[in-house]
Structure 1
């Protein structure tokens, strides 16, 4: 490492991150299973507790906050009970809600995870995936422009969950403003807008998204093909860097002066939910702080593995990650 772990994490704390994307309310029903239903061959969950957490792009904000940086999130929520619960949770977390717009025309996305004995049994989604209306997009763009004027934004993250908040028009206008203001743009894509993110700084699909986005067959047993696909994508999007998360095979990072796969660390994997949010958060902060791609990719690799040891979507634990970074680089 070029600098000590503490200095890197201190530099994270100086960043202000604008996150644009699909927020949602993560609902958890925790319980125990000790019998099969007599009505159908399905387990019966005896509910022990219920919990709500901010999810989707909001989980990126929580990760950014956990790492000491300042998140500013711009998105749509429904003008409904779930939306009010979401705003309340954000307020409790001490995260600004000034970039959030309530819509009368779409519901707040809710993902309910049914968990028994620390294992996810089922997920129930309540949502609309229709594109935001022209009026909603205009309101979002106005709010983004206001935040760019009033805040010293270090990096912009597009956190796309294909729920309709992000449209090609929004991508084009925000990216153009970012280029004017020399603000790096990081993208965590999904299928719908995959090839709309031109001229970004860092594009971070997972292997499935890369496969679907380029309509080509790829698997972790052929790293050469993945590297070539990442290169083709980098050229197609005119992106400075392409980072591909490969699950148990690690993370690929490719750019002008780097082309490598960093292997994953051995972990007791419990739940992969939210790992991509953590990876993109660390990568964006590392990019904004001026770390070399190899360095912030290595730290993101550690962080993504750590959150997979927890049940449900949870942000990274800063002190736990700091300890891992110290240990990994054999720092005193």
Structure 2
């Protein structure tokens, strides 16, 4: 019965420890109403402002992992600045550990401020330093990561790469080697800078634009044959077990190196905001993967989860109960 299968699956997430390595940030929001244009310049005036800070970037993956019932452990480098205090307050409020976080006075804590009125984004302001972390910070990060691996049973490692400089080619090589030695699956949500450095990982999940840019291709989403061929070629060259490419309105392409490929069609949704959907997809994929689920079903559940969070305004984690209901209702086993 689907009800029993998915209930047991979602229950099994509860004792899992997921290490998340990547670029953490604060998602800051200014909410208000726009009723007039400024007399000083042709720009809208936002009034009745509300403010909110949320965990973002790799920390939003941690929120999704936590929302699914598992235990996230973040490893990252942030600034030694005022906003780092805000970040640690948010971590504490979510009852998340800061044991894997390195502070560096040479860097700035990344903050993305979104200005929103009536569910519409008016502006986004990014405060960040995107250069790769220095050697000293990299050594401190690796020391913390190794300590986490020695003191916790880690069921999977997620690389959450936003091209903000925390993940370097050296860090990738060291962590993948450690994970493979310990038999820990590795999952990657990549960006352009390190795209081709993730050799030998278990699960690689770019979106269509990232795949085109990373492979220096000009594929068309509608040309599924070319996409499948390019995906399999890349997967073979990089020695990746499972490749999943999200295709937005066209769904998800997934391929296991020893099995058949499939394109899972997208579901019709009332899209409010696509921000953070990729974080949800990699989070759900990681927990399904370590339960031994076959790739096609991973793609269906992760695709469904990504669609659900797109119905919400702003970056929000997945609702586990709502996802369970959708799985039971829509997936025939």
How big is the shift at 1:262?
0.5
| 2:308 counterpart residue number | 306
Per-residue CA deviation, residues 34-84 of structure 1 (Å, 9 max, x unaligned), is: 112222222211143000001000000000000001101100111111111
Aligned residues: 331
Compare 240-249 and 219-228 and name the one that shifted more: 219-228
Establish whether residue 322 from structure 1 lines up as the match of residue 333 from structure 2.
Answer: no
* Whole-Å separation in 2 of the counterparts to 1:229 and 1:310: 33
* Whole-Å separation in 2 of the counterparts to 1:42 and 1:220: 36
| 1:134 counterpart residue number | 135
* Whole-Å separation in 1 of the counterparts to 2:248 and 2:48: 31
Per-residue CA deviation, residues 131-161 of structure 1 (Å, 9 max, x unaligned), is: 0000100011111111111111000000000
Establish whether residue 286 from structure 1 lines up as the match of residue 288 from structure 2.
Answer: yes
For structure 1, the residue ranges without an aligned partner over 5 or more in a row are none
Establish whether residue 257 from structure 1 lines up as the match of residue 259 from structure 2.
Answer: yes
Q: Give the TM-score taking structure 2 as reference length.
A: 0.97
For structure 2, the residue ranges without an aligned partner over 5 or more in a row are none
Per-residue CA deviation, residues 306-332 of structure 1 (Å, 9 max, x unaligned), is: 00001111100111111111111269x
2:15 partner SS: coil
Q: Give the TM-score taking structure 1 as reference length.
A: 0.97
| 1:244 counterpart residue number | 245
1:219 partner SS: coil
Per-residue CA deviation, residues 8-49 of structure 1 (Å, 9 max, x unaligned), is: 101222211000000001100001111122222222111430
Establish whether residue 297 from structure 1 lines up as the match of residue 299 from structure 2.
Answer: yes
| 2:169 counterpart residue number | 168
Alignment of 1:113-262 (within 5 A): 113-255=114-256, 256-262=258-264
Per-residue CA deviation, residues 149-197 of structure 1 (Å, 9 max, x unaligned), is: 1111000000000000001110000000101001000000000000000
Per-residue CA deviation, residues 74-109 of structure 1 (Å, 9 max, x unaligned), is: 001111111110111111011111111111110100
How big is the shift at 1:250?
0.6
| 1:108 counterpart residue number | 109
* Whole-Å separation in 2 of the counterparts to 1:53 and 1:264: 28
1:230 partner SS: helix
* Whole-Å separation in 2 of the counterparts to 1:8 and 1:258: 24
* Whole-Å separation in 2 of the counterparts to 1:31 and 1:302: 31
RMSD: 1.3
* Whole-Å separation in 1 of the counterparts to 2:155 and 2:53: 30
